[in-house]
Structure formats: structure tokens, C-alpha cells
Structure 1
Amino acid sequence: MFDQERIDALPVHRERATTEPAVLDGLRVVDFTHFVAGPLATQTLADFGAEVIKIEAPVRGDDFRHYPTVDPEIPAQGGPYLWTNRNKKSLALDVKSPAGLAVAKALIARADVLVENFSSGVMERFGLDYETCAALNPRLVYCSVSAYGREGPYADRLGFDPIVQAESGFISMNGYPDRQGVRTGAAVMDTATAMSATNAILLALMARQKDGRGQRVEVALYDTAILMTGFGAMQHLTTGYEPQRNGNTSPDTCPSGVFMSKDKPFYINCGNDKIYQRLFEQVLERPDLAHDEVLSQRANRLKHRERIFRIMDEAFIKEPWSHWAPRLRAANVPHGQVKTLGEALASEESRSRELITRIPHPVKGWIPNLATPLRLARTPALDPVAAPAIGQHSESILRDMLGYDEARIAQLRAAGAFGAEAAAESQATGVAA
């Protein structure tokens, strides 16, 4: 159950302050994605003006609709689904039926972009592989998001965010040295893959502007996960060094890590010697250590980490965070309170950036919204529209986009284009296929 009182307390989304058209206005996207990586990519396109048509199975729709938290008043619009599908239209279509497949092909022929993240082979079984779709529409940008790519010996493997975290070496780098590595709680590989997919699609569209030709685009979770190991990958390739688990400390800078004030934990990152000097001279009032001949050098501090941390721990625990935060900011020392997710979402930092607001919903009245992190001054994102119900726009898409009249839509319904239940209802009312 959604906490409506909590939602109603959020600020209302501030409307788009421009009459400029959205940067992707006029772009049409046929969206065959589900769960996280694919839908987040197409949501970004939708946020900036693309008409994104989410094609999903009748009745149940995208399985991500049913991830908790789910409200009984909108049972197929759980919180995770709302997070990845705003500003889209939903067409409930059974592409396994000949009638449904014909509708999908008609849309693809009129589209600019197709995005899919099924398991390898599924689009081929539907009859919607790249070659078929490119023949229908040579200008089509066809983006596949997969686990291990669409070709090669691992193309058939299923893969999810924590799996590629494990196989890429990412988990081995995170956590504490005295135990197994840990995955991130957030789906960082899915999110990063979505960003990569959006970039790849936009690059392909830029190429199409030059020569008028579409192309196949591919983004894989595993490829993204290797990139997300950061510069540790190049450290290994150049020296054979295996990154170690260091908990909250840094193997490269010191002092960097989590410290405890009298009431709250916080993180400090001393990325260079000047920051270290400001920390010890201006914040901790220890000029003797700030300019110590040995400790003022980064490489030396790594060797004396335990001593430095002990001095800092003894100092910071004496005063509350309200004492240390302004001193750290005044000294320009990178710092941040270690917050819970709830604290972060309600923080002044989030409020000042207008990241968390509420937007209208046709059933609930209001739902929360997390703003896109992309800020364009002249052509900002569209005002957010709540993620759609299953098939919410089916008839309007068929009428307005494909030009089907009511008789044609009724024939498609009876032929099973919108699922067996819709077909049965149509037959019960006497509509012939």
C-alpha cells in the first residue's frame, strides 16, 4: 500500500518553464523492453519528447509492474514500474498472434527506433528480428539490450545485474578484506547499461542524419559491468595488480573513509595533499600534522593510515555533526553525511535540486516522481506524466497512429491481437473476426 499521506506532503512538480519544443519531439520509439535496463533507456528518450509506445503482453504486462511496493488500487503499477516508465504510452498486444504481429510491424514501419531486451532468440521467434524490421523500415535504429551480447558463445545465457557484478570482478573489489565481496544494493549495472543504451541510440540517430540509414545497436550488461570496474581494470592490465577490498577506505588516497562524529557518521575524501593540509589545519586545528614533513606527502600517509585515522577518530567523536559540517565546508574539504535513503531523499540537497516531487495520477491522485538528472537549459525535459496502465493507450494508438477505424479494431480484437481474453469477450458479444 502506498503511503498517500507521505506522498501528498511532497512538493508539486514545477512545470516546464519554456515553450521550446522538446529536443526529441517527433521521434517515435517502439518499446519492447521490461524490467530495468531497457525501460530506463526508453524513459530517458520519452522524458525529452520522444513518443514511446510500450508494447507489452495483455493482462499481466511487464513483470516489473508487479514488483513491490504495489498498491491494491493500481495493482499493476508498483513503485519500481512507476520509476522506469513515465511519459510512455502502453499498447497491450499479443505479438504471438498473427493479428498482433501485423500491428507491431505496422508500428515498426512508422517508427524511428525499436528497443528490446528479451533473451536472445525471442525477437527472432516473434518474427521481429533486425533483418525483418530493417526490411520494413531501412531508417530504423534497432537497439538490443542483452546480458552477454546477441552473438558468440554466451549469447544464450540469461543475466541479471548481480550476475554481471559477480562475473565482471566488480563484487571482488567491494566490501571488506576479511569476508567475501558484496554486490551493490542498487542495480547499478542495469542503470549504467540504460545510460549506455540511450547514448548508443542517440549516436545512431546522429549517424542517420548524415546518410539516412538506420542500423543495429547493441549494449550488453556484461560489457557495461567491465567498464564499471573503473580504472582498476587498467591497473591490472598494466601491472597485474588485483584490486583489493578496502571497505570504506581508499587504497589510493589518505585519509579517506567513514568517521563518526558525536551523533552521525560521515565520509571524508582527501584526494590530494592540499586537501589533507586544509583538513588538519583549518578543521582539526592541528597545523603541526598538516605540515608534517612525512604526513604532508600522499604516499607517506598511506603507510601511516592507522595513526592518522586514530587521531581523526579521537577528534571527531567529541563534537556533533552540526559542528563539523560547516567547518569542513568552509575549509573546502570533500565530505558528506552517511545517510539512509530516506534521509537522502528528504535532504536539503535533494530539495534544492527539485529531485523529488509529486505528479498527478488518474487513480491515486498523486504519486512520487524522481527527476531526470539531465538538465538542458533551452530544451528541458517534458513535464512528467505517470507511467501508464496496461494497454491504456491501445485504441488511441491504433486510431491516431495507424488510422484504424472502429471496425478494424474490433476485427483485431476478435482475432486475438489484444490477447485471448479480449478475443473471448469480443466473440461473446457477437463480433466476427
Structure 2
Amino acid sequence: MTGTIQAPDTARNTGAGGPDASTRKSRRSRIAPIVLAVAGIVVVALLLFMVTRAPVEDARPTSLGFSLNSFFQWLGDLGPLVQIPLVLLAFAVVVGLILLLIEFAPRPGRFYFWLRLVSCFAIPVLAFMLLRPYQNAVVYVLAIAVILGGALFYADLHARQGAGSLFQLVLFAAPAGILLLIGLIYPAIATVIQSFFDKTGDEFVGLENYVWAFTNPQGFWSVINSIIWVIVAPLVATVVGLAYAVFIDRARGERILKVLIFMPFAISFVGAGIIWKFIYDFRQGDQVGLLNAIVTAFGGEPVSWLAIQPLVNTLLLLLVFIWSQTGLAMVILSAAVKAVPPEQIEAASLDGANAWQRFRNVTVPGIRSSIVVVVTTIAIGALKVYDIVAVMTGGRSDTTVLAFEMVNQQQRFQSYGHSAALAVVLFLFVVPLIVFNVIQIRKQREIR
């Protein structure tokens, strides 16, 4: 009886749906990411080689005999009734294709199989056809499209979640991925490459632009001032905002006070700069600036506040930014303080803790995630500040910052290499803030 019972099980185990088949399927699903990774490396290598290779003299550009640009031009020349803007036409075609694929994804069947197969190859070909301005690029375009399409189809066919799952994921993520690629990743890579070339972008100069950023007065003070901004602004704005949130929490007229404190945040940096420029205004004779009006009222001489060096004028500009950001810190931290369970505060009070101990040991740990968000947001805003410096001093008297000097080097001096190097330095300053924020978020998730 035992043998007769085990025989069917053995037959089932060795059948198409047994462990051997599942093992093969699992092995293929593990190979699929490797195939995608290798294909991605090959595609990036071919793309970089195509873009950076030197043009061949007296070589005529090759073509497939079909060009998207020529097709659009032909369509526009047919007459005024069909002269559709090319951007709208391309957008309509892409949206229509995505809607068609979504309609059939992830339905099983022969039609869906062939739809995936065709689209995995056709979409990369159409996408990389836009790269044909490069001379003799058709071979690279076809190679990139075939490798990318083949790897995507193979990985989708042997996906761990089932055939069609990866295709559906790529389909829904493609619009956001394309926008990130065009608007973020490609400009970032191009900026890094440009930072190693001279001001014209023709001659490779190595690290000279970065040496300039840390030795030349304009570059040096832009780095130093940005460090001061990113350290002082988040610390002071968060502390003051938290103090406002705690003391105004149960005060009479809480709403009116919060509106008044939050109002500077609603003012643009340009408007805030103009307001505070009047406060710091310096002139001979009748004083318009509030500070110098007070100084002269007590018999003193007017002071050129924004020309006091070193660092005093930078701190005065920094005060404008803190004034505008304190309202944001107060609103976020006030909501976080109200969310602290009152039972914990009452328990600490019963244990004999005074107000400061309750605030330090109960309130602050309860709003730690909100404090991290506020500090990170204000720090990134401090690194990106441009308007305040441009409106109030124009970078004079060593008040320049990275964002302002980056634009100044590009527009005023036409030095694209220096501007790109400053942009890379600014990016390197932002990365630790983002990493710190991610680490704190993960810790909060683990606690929950």
C-alpha cells in the first residue's frame, strides 16, 4: 500500500509542475536581474562611447531611411489644418501607446505575449532614434535598442512574480523615470563632466576648477558662507520655531500670533530681501533705514551694515533667511507638540519632573522625527539660497554663496567650468543631509 501511495507522488514530483520545474523557474528568475544588469552596463558603455567619440572627417551621417524629425516636418508641411505642434503630437502618441499597453496589461494570452515582445524592442528603437544627431550613430542606436529590449523581454518572461509583471512595472514607472532621466540624471552627469573642462568646455583641465573654488576669493567665500548658512540657519530657526510652538501653544490669541509669525514665510525671498534692505539702508543725510535711524537718533554715525567684513554682513543676510523660515518651523513643530500623548506628560509630572524636564525628556523625543524634517528642509533651503544675496548685496563684500556664485560665473563671466564645479560642490553638501534624513526615517520605521 505504501508503494502504491508514493508512486503517484513521485510521478507528480517529476512532472512539469514538480520541484524540477520550480527549481528551473527559480533559477531563471535569479538570472534575470543579472541579465538586466549586464545589459545596462553594455548600454551605458555604448551610449557614452557614441556621445564622446571624435567625429570622423568627411564622413556623411548614416540613416535608416526613416527619421522622426523628417516625419514631423512632412506632417507640418501638409497644410495649416494639420500643423499640429510637435510636442503635442509626440505627447499624444506616447500617451496613446501607454493607454493601449495598460489596457492589455497584465492579461495573459498569445496577443499579450506578442504585444510585450514587439513593444520591448520597438519602444527602445523609437526612443534612441532621438539620439541620431550624433554622426554615424545608427549602428549604436540599433545595438543599444536590441540589447535593452532583449534583456527587458527575457527578464519579464522569467520574472519571479510571473510573466508580464516586470513589463507592467516598467510601463507604469516609465513616465516618471524618463522625466527623472531628462531633468535630473542627465543634467547631473553633464555638469560633473563639464566641471573638468575649461570655461569654454573644450579643453580638459582636470581639477583646476575645484582648486579655483577653494582658493579664489569668489569661490572660497561662496563655500565658507554656504557652510555658515547651512549650520546656523537650521539651528537657530528650529530652536526659535520650537520655542514659539511651545510658548504660544496655550496662549490667548494663539491663532493670531501664529498667523503673524508664519506670515514672513509667505513672502518671497525677493520681497524679504527688499524689506530688510530698507532696514539696513545706509546713506548720508536723512536716514531711511531703521537701524541707522536708531543709531543717528542717539547721536551716532550711520553704519554701512552690509559692508562690514568679515562675516558680519553674512550674518545680517542670514538673519533675513531665519526670519522667513521660523514660521515654517513653528507650524510643523506646533502640530508635532500637540500630537504628543498628554498621558506621558502627566506621568512625568506625577514622577516629580518639572516643566523643563518634561520638555526635554518627553516632548523632544516625541517630536524628534518632525525636528529632523524641519532641520533638513531649512538646511537644504539655506544651501540653495540665491534671491536674498542677489537682491541685498549682489555678492559684494564677500557675501556670495554657492548658488549665487554659480549663476554669476555662468552669466557674468561665461565661465561654465567654474560654474559646474560650484554646482558639484553644492551637490556634495546636500548629499549628507539627504543621507541623514533617510537614516532617521528608517530608525523611525524600526521603532514603529
TM-score by length of 2: 0.19
TM-score by length of 1: 0.20
Structure ID, larger Rg: 2
Greater RCO (CA < 8 Å, at least 6 residues apart): 1
Higher helix proportion: 2
Higher strand proportion: 1
